[in-house]
Structure 1
């Protein structure tokens, strides 16, 4: 298999998957190393293929359904999982997290969290990797881009985050 055929196989696997696929799984399927897959994905991205790297693996970026809303949040790390649950329990998805770093400027991470299961996997990955969430770089202040399928769900999530004190207000 040539490198271009391998990249086409990666795209096909991502198109046919309803969930993110890890680089390790793609490597096993293609009979190459994980690093080869990571390099192939970098080349696909450079060529304009909308491949997202999420905490659970790669996926093709699709247009979210419904309204997008950006919320500014602030809470302790102990409340992170509850914040994620609050958002998905209202039927909204968490597309990303963004922080404004004083040296690097805007830093973002693709989350693609749409359920408690997704939230649990993200939380577990933070713990297993002994990683800190991006918001620890900015005194816990961060932005989320949310995908809200209906106006009612958008209002639900905004009210729920407000009630829990997670919405950032100067």
Structure 2
């Protein structure tokens, strides 16, 4: 883009989709806003429109990602049930990612709303640290505080053995239910 020229909606949306399809790394709304000379809120609206058009874009704590079906189907998945205090969240997440396993989401069963699912999408200690830091900086609560510490995670890996190793470590730590 030259100068302060704003990109029009269709061009922005095409840029968002094409850029996300080409990378495995999350890209923030602020990054897209800078590239297209619009506000972050405009990008949030663009992404909402793209989602309404069935583009598989999800928002994570690190930014937006495009779900690549082919890659998703190659991964082994498991849903685990955990129970711990907020102070143990870092240890739980490190135990998972240290085995080369990704944490896809967290799910709690709320008494009014039913299942609440939030995308986490972390796979390294650095991403875990960034996630925990955002929780701290925003004074947000972990979803598990709604259910006295009980929550589920969908975990993913290229190997069933890695998933089993995570379960064993969390069991030993008294976190796995």
Classify the TM-score, shorter chain.
Answer: over 0.9
Q: Displacement, 1:6?
A: 1.2
- In the alignment, does 2:37 pair up with 1:37? no
- In the alignment, does 2:40 pair up with 1:27? no
Q: Displacement, 1:64?
A: 5.8
Where does residue 176 of structure 2 map in the other structure? Answer: 167
TM-score under structure 1 length normalisation: 0.95
Q: Displacement, 1:65?
A: 3.7
Where does residue 113 of structure 1 map in the other structure? Answer: 122
CA distance in 2, matches of 1:158, 1:22: 32
- Identify which range, 55-64 or 126-135, moves more after superposition: 55-64
CA distance in 1, matches of 2:23, 2:17: 10
Instruction: State the aligned residue count.
Output: 168
TM-score under structure 2 length normalisation: 0.91
After superposition, the C-alpha distances for 1:49-108 in whole angstroms (9 at most, x for unaligned) are 000100011111131643100000000111000000000111111000000001111111
1:48 aligns with one of 28, 31, 54: 54
After superposition, the C-alpha distances for 1:117-152 in whole angstroms (9 at most, x for unaligned) are 110010010011111111111111100000022122
What do you get for the CA RMSD once the two structures are aligned?
1.1
Runs of 4 or more above 4 Å deviation = none
Distance change >3 Å, CA 64–CA 122, structure 1 → 2: farther
Where does residue 138 of structure 2 map in the other structure? Answer: 129
- In the alignment, does 2:24 pair up with 1:18? yes
Unaligned runs of 5+ in 2: 1-6
